Amino acid sequence: MAQHLNLSIDRDSRETLAAQLRSAVRRQIEQGTLRPGARLPSSRQLAADLGVSRSVAVEAYEQLCAEGYLISRRGSGTLVAAAARAEIGSALTPDERTASAEVVDLRTGGSDVSTFPRQDWVRCLSSVVSSAGRRELGYGPPSGLPAARHTLVGYLGRVRAVRTRPEHLMITSGFAQGLAILCRVLRDAGHDRLGVEDPGHPGEWEFIAEAGLRPVGIPVDGDGIRVDDLAASGVRAVLTTPASQFPTGAVLSAGRRKQLVAWAAAVDGYIIEDDFNAGFVAPAQRMPALQSLAPDRVVYAGSASKVLAPALRLGWVATPPALTGPAERIRAGWDIGCSGLEQLTFARMIDIGAFDRHLRRLRAEIQERRQAVHHFVNRRLPGVTMPGGQSGPQTHLYLPRDCTEQALVQAARRHSVLVRGGRYYAVHQDDRPPALVIGHAGLPGATLNRGLAAIAAAYRDVTARPPNGGGDRL
Ligand SMILES: Cc1ncc(COP(=O)(O)O)c(C=O)c1O
């Protein structure tokens, strides 16, 4: 029996009906009101119950299927997925870590906190606390302490060629807060839609919808986001990951960069550059921040989550001067800034060169892991292809057409590995080739290798293909 859903829709909300519906069903799954295996009404029935068009229900169901909350089976309808609750965290942290030590979590979003430079951090914190006076220990400006902003501006200019000044740099509680503020700034400026990369990060789409903008999927290819499709979509603002597209790892090409900033000028619009993973990109592949080409059109945003630890909740946003005032006004009504002591500790790490040293070590380590994954794919996953030029903390693989993502993900789970298929990251559930995304930055090398061996076993289970090389070693 299909369960009746107790859902309500607010027709005056800025959020689309499909986004509201998706959030409401998702909430019920997370709260356990809808349990694994529960059968949902058909999209036609749901649409009739709520008095919305069927396409609204179809869009919400398709998105929830892609995110792993629901499964849709011909003949038996739409069901809550067995692993839905364990699978899902919230918003920008959809990759809630598992509690079990035996389960290897190769979903994207993890940070290998074993690399956190504890001693450097403690040393810098200690020196900040020892010398902190009234100003440092009191309330600071919501946008961040001037000394920390000054250091960060120098650092971003040196390492990423970002062109900004301390008064236009806001220190935020992670990229998540920066994005939420920027969406509200755009909404207040009359935008009702924001372009997002497809594939991209589902957690971000939720932040965007909660801020009252509709995320519009824009295709990406091996050169990054497709600017011709962006122009055709009619949006006037876009969120993009030029340094290393998430999750394909493609670096936005020089030609596309020029095209993108020209588009922003032509539509009198804005580009939000999410540079959260630039720290992992090898020097040979790294390009200056897109912001350096058009500081009046590009909002530059970064985060300490992947390069230090998510627990710090440290991020930064450099706004074009026209957006600084509106962003500050929204921030002022939000909180009274983030921890001044952490801002100063991070700035001290930068000033004494400890952050650069840490990043160099981390980058070498992540590159080693990326190579291990590539080597593994070539030897142990016959028929799987790996697009070239991948630069990020995850590897994006294409599976043979006869290998379904869901079957592989479920088989991996039986081998105690959590990993995601490409559809999880897709805005449009079209007939794109099946894919697998392996997050290789979140775990120490030995655990990663254990996870890869289990993926090879799962792949054998679902394809019954013999491995390329002999033996079971990676
Ligand atoms: C696409 C993307 N951008 C940015 C971030 C960083 O977010 P935050 O700084 O809020 O931790 C993440 C974290 O997983 C991410 O996946």
Atom of ligand 1 nearest to the CA of 301: 4
- Indicate if the pLDDT at residue 170 is higher than 90: yes
Look at residue 465 in the predicted model and tell me its pLDDT: 61
Instruction: Tell me if 304 is assigned to some domain.
Output: yes
Q: Are residues 108 and 129 in the same domain?
A: no
Look at residue 473 in the predicted model and tell me its pLDDT: 35
390 lies in which domain range?
A: 104-115+356-463
Q: Are residues 129 and 77 in the same domain?
A: no
Whether ligand 1 lies within 6 angstroms of the CB of 310 is answered as yes
CATH number at residue 375: 3.90.1150.10
Output the CA 348–ligand 1 centroid distance in Å: 23
Instruction: Tell me if 437 is assigned to some domain.
Output: yes
Q: Are residues 138 and 168 in the same domain?
A: yes
Backbone phi and psi for residue 107, each to the nearest 5 degrees, phi listed first? -75, 155
Q: Are residues 325 and 273 in the same domain?
A: yes
What is the domain count for the chain?
3
What mean pLDDT, rounded, does the chain reach? Answer: 90
Whether ligand 1 lies within 6 angstroms of the CB of 441 is answered as no
Look at residue 100 in the predicted model and tell me its pLDDT: 53
Query: Atom 2 (ligand 1): residue with closest C-alpha?
Result: 276
Q: Which amino acid appears at position 329 of this protein?
A: R
- Indicate if the pLDDT at residue 45 is higher than 90: no
Look at residue 388 in the predicted model and tell me its pLDDT: 81
Whether ligand 1 lies within 6 angstroms of the CB of 197 is answered as no
- The 435-439 sheet, strands edge to edge: 394-398, 435-439, 420-421
Output the CA 300–ligand 1 centroid distance in Å: 14
Q: Which residue has the tokens 């909300």?
A: 13
Output the CA 393–ligand 1 centroid distance in Å: 12
Q: Are residues 210 and 327 in the same domain?
A: yes
Whether ligand 1 lies within 6 angstroms of the CB of 274 is answered as yes
Q: Are residues 293 and 371 in the same domain?
A: no
- Indicate if the pLDDT at residue 261 is higher than 60: yes
Q: Are residues 191 and 290 in the same domain?
A: yes
Whether ligand 1 lies within 6 angstroms of the CB of 442 is answered as no
- Indicate if the pLDDT at residue 303 is higher than 70: yes
Residue percentage of the chain with pLDDT more than 70: 93
Q: Are residues 330 and 370 in the same domain?
A: no
Output the CA 132–ligand 1 centroid distance in Å: 30
Look at residue 98 in the predicted model and tell me its pLDDT: 43
Query: Atom 3 (ligand 1): residue with closest C-alpha?
Result: 276
- Indicate if the pLDDT at residue 273 is higher than 90: yes
Confidence label for 4 from pLDDT (cuts 50, 70 and 90): confident
- Indicate if the pLDDT at residue 95 is higher than 50: no
* Boundary-marking domain end, from 353, 384, 414: 353
Q: Are residues 24 and 161 in the same domain?
A: no
Instruction: Tell me if 468 is assigned to some domain.
Output: no
CATH number at residue 336: 3.40.640.10
Instruction: Tell me if 98 is assigned to some domain.
Output: no
Q: Are residues 346 and 458 in the same domain?
A: no
Whether ligand 1 lies within 6 angstroms of the CB of 92 is answered as yes
Instruction: Tell me if 8 is assigned to some domain.
Output: no
Instruction: Tell me if 228 is assigned to some domain.
Output: yes
Q: Which of 81-90, 114-123, 190-199 has the lowest mean pLDDT?
A: 81-90
Pocket residue to mutate for ligand 1, from 93, 197, 204, 303, most atoms within 8 A of Cβ: 303
Give the integer Cα–Cα distance in Å for 251 and 401: 26
Look at residue 205 in the predicted model and tell me its pLDDT: 94
CATH number at residue 32: 1.10.10.10
Whether ligand 1 lies within 6 angstroms of the CB of 355 is answered as no
Look at residue 171 in the predicted model and tell me its pLDDT: 98
Instruction: Tell me if 92 is assigned to some domain.
Output: no
Q: Are residues 161 and 176 in the same domain?
A: yes
Q: Which of 62-66, 320-324, 374-378 has the lowest mean pLDDT?
A: 62-66
Look at residue 23 in the predicted model and tell me its pLDDT: 82
Average pLDDT over residues 253-275: 98
Q: Are residues 168 and 281 in the same domain?
A: yes
Average pLDDT over residues 395-405: 93
Output the CA 204–ligand 1 centroid distance in Å: 8
Confidence label for 1 from pLDDT (cuts 50, 70 and 90): low
Taking only the tens place, the pLDDT of each residue in 135-153 is: 999 999 999 999 999 999 9
Whether ligand 1 lies within 6 angstroms of the CB of 276 is answered as yes
Instruction: Tell me if 148 is assigned to some domain.
Output: yes
